[in-house]
């Protein structure tokens, strides 16, 4: 495969394909395992992820890349094959989460800034040797009373751009993920408020990417969709989500960016699929629109698996179904 950043980025958003986010940190995967009554041991985490990466049909036809966690990119399958090699054997690209998490931001009560720039160059060099050809860094922007603030948006956008520049220096395509969260507490957090904050955030991020000399052709944007907050008194319908998200992205994301791969952020599996498909129906669009889902690709498989080896085939079927539905949505061909 070509090692050019532009070619890797194009392959990540190939027609009808998207990204599997399997980069849950140890804390997050424990929460997911708790929900099915499975203890989060290193072996269980390996078995679960190996099962996903061995779901051949899904991996070969619908999954262009997989985002891994530090532990996972170093793990081997039961038969000794590195998990990253399983992904490559399916024609998919291994990627790696490189941020060190969103930490409380000094002087900004209730807001967070994502850390992890120290030593990042050396870590990227090691991950490249381990097979990673793209990376992910997630910033979180919270909507609440009086937030977000300009200081928080600016600091997160700057860190994203510094990360992206370091990735490209080391032959790795950065996924730039500024997530405006949908689980804020305020009732007035409707889709229009989400639009306003997302537009502000994306414009700031692209300013910073320009200032840090990031090659837009060699990156992927991973944004939230424009949805109402979970606790908002007014919820947006699917057509409204699709229309507002496409409008917001068109006004903020340069056409040089090859693709936009959404996070699911707490939407139900079907909503995440439907929204993506409706957006692609609004084309032609200047960039590919696809998925980079964690929960919306894995929730059904996790339930079906329940930690039992005898459920592996059923869990792989559940994962394959969601991957196929999202693959259809990535070209606007999904129907209920």
CB-wise, 249 or 296, nearer to ligand 13P?
Answer: 296
DSSP 311: G
Least distance (Å) from ligand 13P to the CB of residue 29?
Answer: 12
Whether 222 is catalytic = yes
Least distance (Å) from ligand 13P to the CB of residue 33?
Answer: 15
Q: What are the structure tokens assigned to 302, written together? A: 């996790």
User: Which are the contacts of 183, defined by CB distance < 8 A and separation ≥ 6?
Assistant: 229, 230, 231, 266
Q: Which phi and psi angles does 118 have, rounded to 5°?
A: -65, 130
* Region at 25 (left for phi over 0; alpha for psi -120 to 50; beta for the rest): beta
263 three-class SS: coil
Torsion of CA 44, 47, 49, 52, to 10 degrees: -140
CB-wise, 233 or 268, nearer to ligand 13P?
Answer: 268
Least distance (Å) from ligand 13P to the CB of residue 108?
Answer: 21
Least distance (Å) from ligand 13P to the CB of residue 198?
Answer: 15
Whether 230 is catalytic = no
Closest CA to 73 of 18, 24, 127, 14: 127
Least distance (Å) from ligand 13P to the CB of residue 298?
Answer: 8
CB-wise, 293 or 305, nearer to ligand 13P?
Answer: 293
CB-wise, 27 or 125, nearer to ligand 13P?
Answer: 27
Q: What are the structure tokens assigned to 61, written together? A: 């036809």
Annotated active-site residue in 24, 50, 111, 177: 177
In terms of DSSP H, where are the helices of 18-112? 26-34, 42-53, 56-62, 70-73, 83-89
CB-wise, 84 or 263, nearer to ligand 13P?
Answer: 263
Residue number closest to ligand 13P, CB atom: 294
Question: CA torsion sign, 288 to 158 to 191 to 251?
Answer: negative
| Binding residues vs ligand 13P (CB under 6 A) | 21, 138, 177, 263-265, 293-296
Sort strands 220-221 and 173-180 into parallel, antiparallel or unpaired.
Answer: parallel
Residue positions annotated with a catalytic role = 177, 222
């Amino acid at each position: 495969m070509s090692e050019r950043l532009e070619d890797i980025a194009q392959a990540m958003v190939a027609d009808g394909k998207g990204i599997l986010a399997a980069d849950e940190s140890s804390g997050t995967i424990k929460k997911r395992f708790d929900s099915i009554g499975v203890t989060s041991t290193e072996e269980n985490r390996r078995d679960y992820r190996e099962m996903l990466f061995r779901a051949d049909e899904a991996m070969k036809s619908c999954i262009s890349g997989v985002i891994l966690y530090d532990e996972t990119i170093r793990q081997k399958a039961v038969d000794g094959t590195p998990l990253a090699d399983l992904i490559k054997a399916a024609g998919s690209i291994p990627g790696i989460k490189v941020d060190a998490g969103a930490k409380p931001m000094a002087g900004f009560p209730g807001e967070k800034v994502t850390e992890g720039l120290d030593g990042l160059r050396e870590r990227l060099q090691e991950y490249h040797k381990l097979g990673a050809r793209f990376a992910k860094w997630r910033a979180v922007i919270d909507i609440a009373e009086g937030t977000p603030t300009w200081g928080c948006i600016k600091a997160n956008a700057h860190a994203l751009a510094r990360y992206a520049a370091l990735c490209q220096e080391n032959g790795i395509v950065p996924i730039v993920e500024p997530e405006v969260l949908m689980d804020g507490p305020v009732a007035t957090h409707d889709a229009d408020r989400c639009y306003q904050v997302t537009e502000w955030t994306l414009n700031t991020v692209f300013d910073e990417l320009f200032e840090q000399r990031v090659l837009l052709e060699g990156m992927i944007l991973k944004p939230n969709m424009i949805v109402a907050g979970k606790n908002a008194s007014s919820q947006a319908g699917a057509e409204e989500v699709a229309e507002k998200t496409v409008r917001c992205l068109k006004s903020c994301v340069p056409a040089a960016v090859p693709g936009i791969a959404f996070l699911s952020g707490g939407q139900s599996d079907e909503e995440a699929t439907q929204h993506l498909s409706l957006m692609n129906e609004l084309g032609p669009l200047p960039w590919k629109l696809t998925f980079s889902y964690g929960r919306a690709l894995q929730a059904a498989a996790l339930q079906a698996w329940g930690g039992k080896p005898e459920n592996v085939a059923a869990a792989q079927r559940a994962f394959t179904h969601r991957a196929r539905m999202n693959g259809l949505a990535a070209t606007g061909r999904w129907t209920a």
